[in-house]
Structure 1
Amino acid sequence: MNNPLEHDAIARSGTPASTAPTASRSQPGWRAAAQRAAAVAAQFANDVDRDARFPAEAVDALRRERLLSAMVPKAFGGPGLGVVEIGAICETLAQACASTAMIYAMHQIEIACIDKYGSSLPWQRALLAKVVEHQLLLASATSEENIGGNLRTSSCAIQIDGARFRIEKLAPTISYGANADGILVTARRTPESPAGDQVLIVVLKAETQLEKRGEWDSMGMRGTCSEGFRLVATGVEQQILPTPFAEIADQTMLPLSHTLWASVWTGVASDAVNRASAFFRAQARSKPGSAPPAGPRLAEAVGLLRMMQARLAAGLEAAQRVHETVDDACRADTPLSAILGFATDMNTLKTSLSNTALQVVQEVLMICGMAGYKNGTEYSVGRHLRDLYSAPLMISNDRIAQNTANLLAVQRSVVSGDN
């Protein structure tokens, strides 16, 4: 059948509506599909948030629209959308439900890792084809008890027995793990390996046991259902990606996390600003001839949002260029200054947009006042604010700032091409 996500010309969205956008036949296929899925997500966003439940209806809509395989290359039956387009989809979904958008972003990051580092293996190629056919949902388990959010170290290790492996991991969080069809798990290469000698393993639901070890009763992002689990999985050796996890993290997982998560935060802030704009217009109509007092705050919020959108657009394009050229030959030819500069750019994009998104919604709350503070109004932004408080914590901004400082210490220049 025809794929509605067949590759279209890249076009970023303008200012979104305060509710989920309405799909139009004139839209590119992937964008119209994202708008239809967002419309479903918007219907259930408050229920998902209130009950801290998985956004099943929205994910089912993503499956119907075949958006879960959006980043799978054409060679495996997918439409092969790029990072810029995936970022635009994340923004659109986030205007409706931040949890749905974050789940979608995380899933696409896992798809990218398998594509770039596992497509030489028949098992991994077959999995990508299955993602397209069955619209499988993938999650990740990179945190570990007693290690926390430091994804560069592992306590658990792969145990190899002939052509098969076994892995057991105590993960404090596996976002939507109970609802995933597969999970990408970090572990030490062997029981004798040091903590930093890690690999990434793709495990499937049929051969994975998840023992729940805690509830997910969080301030925000409640629909991500990031519960803790004891994970025990088995499989064949081709489920282990051959590239060291350190390279996967540096070249793909972290850059895409920073950019796609930032797309989510920008989408949340966009919807909040549109609510503030609607509130401002309603005030102006109620008192013709006088400008509402919140005008300067609205101008400030719009200005901050525009800066976020511009910074995000540049970051997505940079991440797409790197994602398209990740291979051994390109890495060998890339100057160290360019590698350090890209890492610095991705780090600062994450920290700046995660902080600015919060600032934008705080301005919106001051504009809308009690109408924004109360739940259940058309100007409510409590969910937006609570969801965005997760942004500086997802890979701690303090940890990223320290890493950025270390990168800057070895760069000759950070504002010109002469690094």
Structure 2
Amino acid sequence: MSAGAVGEAADLQARAAAVAAVAAAHAEAVDREGRFPDEARDAMRTHRLLGAAIPIDLGGEGASMQALADICYTFGRACASTAMIFAMHQTKVACLVRHGRGAAWVEAVMRRIASEQLLMASSTTEGNNGGNVRVSAAAVARDGEDIVLDRAATVISYGAQADGIVTVARRTDEAAASDQVLCVFLKADYTLERLGGWQTLGMRGTCSSGFRLLARGRVEQVLAARYADVHSQTMTPVSHILWSSAWTGIAAGAVDKAQAFTRTAMRGAGGVAPPGALHYTRAVSGLKQARALIGQSLDRFEAATGDPAALSALDFQTAITMLKVEVSELAVSTVMSAMRANGLAGYREDGDFAIGRHLRDVLSAPIMIHNDRIVANLATATLMAPVAASLRD
């Protein structure tokens, strides 16, 4: 990495740390009240992080995936909802950047994201697709020169607070459920009718209510690229890397508390380790494993960037798909180990060593696109692939 790139990454991280301080100050209230983290969102805008990944020639900073993952990790240590909101926004931005270059309308939106710090939400889940984002019921329809979309979404995370929505739909009324396109709508293009609330165990600040999305726009608001390509080359790898970084940040926040508790207990006992010290060691190990998995995936993704064949290859898709499964489960076990390290002090919600919020938030990780569905789909995809004959194959 060049000296300039190192300096830019350090600047981004310093700004992320400033935002994380704001997010941490309000995290308890966000969770308790189940409200959107307005303060953290405003801080992201102030520090111009929402447009960080937009290319430099379109007014952004061209931030790398490594830099974005580091920010998700930093935010996860402070406020899980803030981290997940940032991760989902940047996933949508990545889809526009990687598949919308050369399209005047899409590039104009990217310029606005950078200049106005617009927050983009994602709508991929419908009421009848069971979380399978590779099939859609709602279709893009033509109305004269316009396109219209009527979509019943089980969840649209922070839909009411977003400045725009990137959504998937069938290409036409006649298209198969898997023949999908990606559409971009700004707030003036749509209305939302609330279909359900968001009273959940954790991740309450993402405000992922269900909505009926009624949108109208121009033909140019549908990306030319096939969604199948967007999904395999960008949506899946970027979301899995950034989600995993956010979940690992949550785990790191819990390990912080377990370390503080263990040190305090040892000082009070003349250097004798408390009974839960074994679990603290396990928490540290789990965190290191998760970070290593993300690092490997980042390296592999960045090496394949610009090579659609490499990104779509079964080996890469298997690795990037399993990243989500493995890190989500590691994050849960790591936070649980931190809870056991702290004992009652971690179980209580009224002390400095409380871990309840971290545990409730991270429990969403294995069921946010259910791990069982992911593994079952992967098993089907790999049935006809030959088993490696050697360690080097």
Under a length normalisation based on structure 2, what TM-score does the superposition of the two structures give? Answer: 0.96
In structure 2, what residue type is equivalent to 1:395? I
In structure 2, what residue type is equivalent to 1:396? H
Number of aligned residue pairs: give it. Answer: 390
From 330, 345, 350, the counterpart of 2:324: 350
Q: Distance in 2 between matches of 1:72 and 1:307?
A: 31
Q: Distance in 2 between matches of 1:113 and 1:237?
A: 18
Q: Distance in 2 between matches of 1:196 and 1:406?
A: 17
Q: Structure 1's 116 and 234: CA in aligned 2 closer, same or farther, altered over 3 A?
A: same
What displacement does 1:412 show?
2.5
From 188, 192, 198, the counterpart of 1:210: 192
2:10 aligned with 1:8, yes or no? no
Deviates more, 1:115-124 or 1:216-225: 115-124
Aligned ranges for residues 33-72 of structure 1 at < 5 Å?
33-72=15-54
Equivalence for 1:403: 377
Q: Distance in 1 between matches of 2:193 and 2:19?
A: 31
Equivalence for 1:127: 109
SS in 2 for 1:317: helix
Q: Structure 1's 7 and 158: CA in aligned 2 closer, same or farther, altered over 3 A?
A: farther
Does the CA-based 8 Å contact 1:72-1:115 persist in structure 2?
A: yes
Equivalence for 2:360: 386
Q: Distance in 2 between matches of 1:182 and 1:378?
A: 38
Q: Structure 1's 10 and 168: CA in aligned 2 closer, same or farther, altered over 3 A?
A: farther
SS in 2 for 1:354: helix
Equivalence for 2:96: 114
Does the CA-based 8 Å contact 1:7-1:81 persist in structure 2?
A: no
Identity of aligned residues (%): 43
Does the CA-based 8 Å contact 1:167-1:233 persist in structure 2?
A: yes
2:132 aligned with 1:150, yes or no? yes
Q: Distance in 1 between matches of 2:96 and 2:391?
A: 34
From 210, 220, 227, the counterpart of 1:238: 220
What displacement does 1:417 show?
4.4
In structure 1, what residue type is equivalent to 2:313? I
Equivalence for 2:348: 374
SS in 2 for 1:44: helix
Q: What stretches of structure 2 of length at least 5 have no aligned partner? A: none
From 161, 174, 199, the counterpart of 2:143: 161
SS in 2 for 1:412: coil
Does the CA-based 8 Å contact 1:8-1:29 persist in structure 2?
A: no
Q: Distance in 1 between matches of 2:315 and 2:392?
A: 9
Does the CA-based 8 Å contact 2:262-2:273 persist in structure 1?
A: no
Aligned ranges for residues 211-230 of structure 1 at < 5 Å?
211-230=193-212
2:243 aligned with 1:261, yes or no? yes
What displacement does 1:289 show?
4.2
2:308 aligned with 1:331, yes or no? yes
SS in 1 for 2:160: helix
SS in 1 for 2:264: helix
SS in 2 for 1:273: helix
What displacement does 1:299 show?
1.3
What displacement does 1:317 show?
2.1
Q: Structure 1's 79 and 7: CA in aligned 2 closer, same or farther, altered over 3 A?
A: farther
Q: Distance in 2 between matches of 1:291 and 1:383?
A: 25
Under a length normalisation based on structure 1, what TM-score does the superposition of the two structures give? Answer: 0.90
Q: Distance in 2 between matches of 1:346 and 1:287?
A: 45
Does the CA-based 8 Å contact 2:233-2:308 persist in structure 1?
A: no
Q: Distance in 2 between matches of 1:416 and 1:343?
A: 19
In structure 2, what residue type is equivalent to 1:190? T
Q: Distance in 1 between matches of 2:230 and 2:392?
A: 26
What displacement does 1:319 show?
2.2
Does the CA-based 8 Å contact 2:278-2:341 persist in structure 1?
A: no
Q: Distance in 1 between matches of 2:313 and 2:273?
A: 50
Equivalence for 1:290: 272
Across the aligned residues of Structure 1 and Structure 2, the Cα RMSD in angstroms comes to 1.7
What displacement does 1:193 show?
0.9
Q: What stretches of structure 1 of length at least 5 have no aligned partner? A: 1-5, 12-26
In structure 2, what residue type is equivalent to 1:365? M
Q: For residues 33-53 of structure 1, give each alpha carbon's deviation from its aligned partner in whole angstroms, at most 9, with x where no partner exists.
A: 000000000000000001111
In structure 2, what residue type is equivalent to 1:75? D
Equivalence for 1:94: 76
